[in-house]
Amino acid sequence: MNADVRAPLLSCQNVTKRFGALTAVDALSFDVGAGEVLGIGGPNGAGKTTLFDVMSGVVPASSGRIEFLGQDITWLPPYRICAAGLARTFQLNAAFDSLTTLENVLCSAYFGRREVTLPKLAYDRETKDRVDGIIESTGLASVRKRRADSLTVLQRKQLMIACALATEPALLLLDEPVGGLNPKEIDQTIDLIQRVRTEWSTTIVVIEHVMRCLVALCDRVMIMHHGRKIYEGSAAGVGTDPQVVEVYLGQWAAHRLQHLIAEQQTHA
């Protein structure tokens, strides 16, 4: 798919985030086209999660502008950004531990799209059915009545995706969705993200260190270093970019990535 022909769903222009003297995100500009999957990689501390924090309103930008669906969302609080259709997951578990899987996803469906007043919490039949469908699709049906703090690492990651989907996002930000998972679980999660893209028509930006995940999922990859973009292009080009190999992958991982891409092209 050619991302260039699509109107941008999200546009980041010179986005900067400073923590005191440290510039975690440094005048970063990029677009995300409707329907595409953009992968973000880069060394630890490159500013990837901070970028998600700024995009989702968790921390305010120091400067720059973020447009989503034609609206300036740069200074909006997280709940308004979520209500506008931009949802995210976190590297670490971010569910309500004492609530069940079902209750967590219902809460997201209820609070994610509207400005509602506590303590009112009422779900209509349509919402309940939609939530049941999401729980089924994300692989959580067998644990729908289990408390979140009793779930496995994979299930907790699935729960974060389920909660995000319950807000009906146009854009979903996934922060290391396969971090800490074993190879079989990684395959399951790649399959889930592919289904999120096709079945929910969701545009996705995914931060990941696991290169085979980025290769399997992404139309385009951006690599960050010291808060800046050092590469933007195909996943296939990542392993041959001298600066990316130097500061991030190293020769061994770059070689493995090239091998993986060659294998994928053979089977395509």
- Footprint of ligand ATP on this chain (CB under 6 A)? 19, 22, 24, 42, 44-50
Report the nearest approach of ligand ATP to the CB of residue 67 (Å).
22
> What stretch of H or E contains 261?
helix 250-267
Report the nearest approach of ligand ATP to the CB of residue 39 (Å).
13
Question: For residue 146, with 0-12 CB atoms within 10 Å meaning exposed, 13-18 middle and 19 or more buried, which class applies?
Answer: middle
Report the nearest approach of ligand ATP to the CB of residue 237 (Å).
20
Report the nearest approach of ligand ATP to the CB of residue 229 (Å).
12
Q: What is the dihedral of CA 199, 141, 131, 153, to 10 degrees?
A: -80
Cβ nearer to ligand ATP, comparing 22 with 121? 22
Which backbone phi and psi does 91 adopt, to 5 degrees?
-60, -45
Report the nearest approach of ligand ATP to the CB of residue 15 (Å).
12
- 207 close to 49: Cβ distance less than 8 angstroms: yes
Cβ nearer to ligand ATP, comparing 46 with 163? 46
Cβ nearer to ligand ATP, comparing 150 with 243? 243
**3-class SS of residue 256:** helix
Cβ nearer to ligand ATP, comparing 113 with 212? 212
Report the nearest approach of ligand ATP to the CB of residue 25 (Å).
7
Q: Which residues of 19-44 are buried (b: 16+ CB within 10 A; e: fewer)?
A: eeeebbbbebebbbbebbbbbbbbbe
Cβ nearer to ligand ATP, comparing 41 with 169? 41
Cβ nearer to ligand ATP, comparing 107 with 238? 238
- Which residues have C-beta within 8 Å of that of residue 185, sequence separation ≥ 6? 153, 154, 178
